[in-house]
Amino acid sequence: MKTKSALSYFGSDSQVAERLAAKLAECNHVTIPFVGGASILPFIAARAIVCNDLNTDAITFYRVMSGELGLKARGALITRCRRTLSHPEELRLALTILDLDDAPPHAVAWAYWALCWLGRKGKGGTNDGVRQPSVRWSGRGGTNASRIKTAANDLRAWTRHFERCEWVSLDFNDVLAKVKDEPTSGIYCDPPWFEVGKRYVHRFEDTDHVRLRESLDRFRYARVLVRYGDHPVIRRLYAGWKIEEGESRTQAGTAAGELWITRQP
């Protein structure tokens, strides 16, 4: 696949997904409380995966793509995505559908996919309003039209990863409370980062970072992996855990420090 995520999502772990997934290689069950753009799925080897996100539009997209809501709905979604143009009318239609209370799931799934890909790269899941499709005014890099075409053409390949998963939309605390604390269990948390996480549709407040740390504290046998942007507050919050310094790149190409925090049995 040419695309590193099925949805162009804010704060994506696509650049480091393979290295992070390797830390959960021995787990046969993995829970992902903040699935976001799902970049890590192709690298997770577990035979059972539970994916959660409070963003119900994103979860609807994944459920349709997994075939959970029927193969006919999935086929209609992929066909519609392949016919999508980088044009303001497509964006207006997508926003109209997302405002409806009774739109069918495959229509909601297309509308959210279009919203993520028509705007600026990596804005999915945030409160950054998309008013016009992204337009490139120079010869550097690809065009938005080619980008969304590539994303649509990759969807069929993504289905095999989504079919492996079970999809839920709950508060992360409720999800983690259900996970069995066993040596074969793995938990991958890529929550909204400290401070910048307030840009998400479902804001992550300072108290939520504390709640997450408290929820993870009960695990003694399961493998726990948490990805965060490097911040003093996070270092203090996870004092006593193993903290590895990683690095990714922003859209502007500048280095961004990360913390890969683990507790292993």
- Does residue 153 lie in a domain region? yes
State the pLDDT at residue 1. Answer: 85
State the pLDDT at residue 256. Answer: 76
Range of the domain at 211: 17-263
- Does residue 177 lie in a domain region? yes
Kindly give, in sequence order, each residue whose CB lies less than 8 Å from that of residue 144, ignoring residues fewer than 6 positions away. Answer: 86, 118, 133, 134, 135, 136
- Does residue 255 lie in a domain region? yes
Distance, in Å, from the CA atom of 249 to the CA atom of 256, rounded to the nearest integer, reads 6
- Does residue 11 lie in a domain region? no
State the pLDDT at residue 14. Answer: 85
Distance, in Å, from the CA atom of 107 to the CA atom of 113, rounded to the nearest integer, reads 10
- Does residue 1 lie in a domain region? no
Global confidence as pTM: 0.89
Phi, psi for residue 41 in degrees, rounded to 5: -55, -45
Q: For the chain, what's the residue count?
A: 265
State the pLDDT at residue 219. Answer: 97
State the pLDDT at residue 79. Answer: 97
- Which DSSP state fits 41? G
Each residue's pLDDT, cut to its tens digit, for the chain (265 residues) gives 899 999 998 767 788 999 999 999 999 999 999 999 999 999 999 999 999 999 999 999 999 999 999 999 999 999 999 999 999 999 999 999 999 999 999 999 999 999 999 976 655 555 555 556 666 556 666 687 899 999 999 999 999 999 999 999 999 999 999 999 999 999 999 999 887 665 566 678 899 999 999 999 999 999 999 999 999 999 999 999 999 998 776 555 566 789 999 986 6
CA atoms within 13 A on the CB side of 172: 26
Q: Any bridge partners for residue 223, and if so which?
A: 186
- Does residue 3 lie in a domain region? no
State the pLDDT at residue 5. Answer: 92
Of 31, 36, 42, 30, give the one whose Cα is nearest residue 13: 36
User: In the structure, how many helices (H) and strands (E) does the chain have?
Assistant: 9, 7
- Does residue 12 lie in a domain region? no
Of 92, 85, 81, give the one whose Cα is nearest residue 132: 92
* CATH number for the domain that contains residue 208: 3.40.50.150
What's the domain count of the chain? Answer: 1
Query: Measured between alpha carbons, how far is residue 176 from residues 33, 97, 187, 220 in Å?
Result: 7, 32, 9, 13
